[in-house]
Amino acid sequence: MDSQFSQRHPLRILLVEDNRVNQKVLLRLLKRLGYEADVANNGREAVSIVRVRAYDVVLMDVQMPEMDGIEATRCIFEEWPPEQRPQIVAVTANAMPENEVACRNVGMMDFVTKPVSLEAIALVLNRCQPIKGR
């Protein structure tokens, strides 16, 4: 993994995380891959931001105050046709199988558990594609 990763895989990324420490850790990992991500502090904020700015990928914490990641994903998916939706990746400390099933059932394309490693983030981002036409 290197800072050129983002040039080989150009993506616009929104990080949705309510915990400031986790925000810093994830932003640092993304920076090591060459990305500068925007940040939302909860699901409600994420929905508002996605309305005004196009993202290819949303790294979505699942458990947050105000609006959790599951509900935020539903709201985002209701507003955009499938070909224009950002790819949403669950980022959670809850590694239980039923949590992963719930995330996938709502339409999240992938699932990463905390603590997140550089390799795990790179693997997920490598599977993501830029959204065309937004």
More confident position, 2 or 115? 115
pLDDT at 84 over 60: yes
Give the long-range contacts of residues 37-40, CB within 8 A, separation 24 or more. Answer: 37/13, 38/13, 38/14, 39/14, 39/15, 40/14, 40/15, 40/16
pLDDT at 123 over 90: yes
Provide, rounded to the nearest whole percent, the portion of the chain with pLDDT above 90: 84
User: What pLDDT is stored for residue 115 in this prediction?
Assistant: 94
Provide, rounded to the nearest whole percent, the portion of the chain with pLDDT above 70: 98
Confidence of residue 98 (pLDDT cuts 50, 70, 90): confident
User: What pLDDT is stored for residue 96 in this prediction?
Assistant: 81
Question: Domain map of the chain by residue range?
Answer: 5-127
CATH number for the domain formed by residue range(s) 5-127: 3.40.50.2300
The string of pLDDT tens digits covering residues 44-66 is 999 999 999 999 999 999 999 99
**pTM, full prediction:** 0.95
In 3D space, the residue among 49, 64, 55 whose CA is nearest the CA of residue 19 turns out to be: 64
> Can you tell me the distance from the alpha carbon of 29 to that of 46, in angstroms, rounded to the nearest whole number?
20
The string of pLDDT tens digits covering residues 22-31 is 999 999 999 9
The string of pLDDT tens digits covering residues 27-48 is 999 999 999 999 999 999 999 9
pLDDT at 134 over 60: no
> Can you tell me the distance from the alpha carbon of 17 to that of 7, in angstroms, rounded to the nearest whole number?
25
Instruction: Fill in the amino acid letter for 85.
Output: R
Three-state SS string across 72-125, please? HHHHHHHHCCHHHCCEEEEEECCCCHHHHHHHHHHCCCEEEECCCCHHHHHHHH
**Cα dihedral sign for 55, 59, 63, 69?**
positive
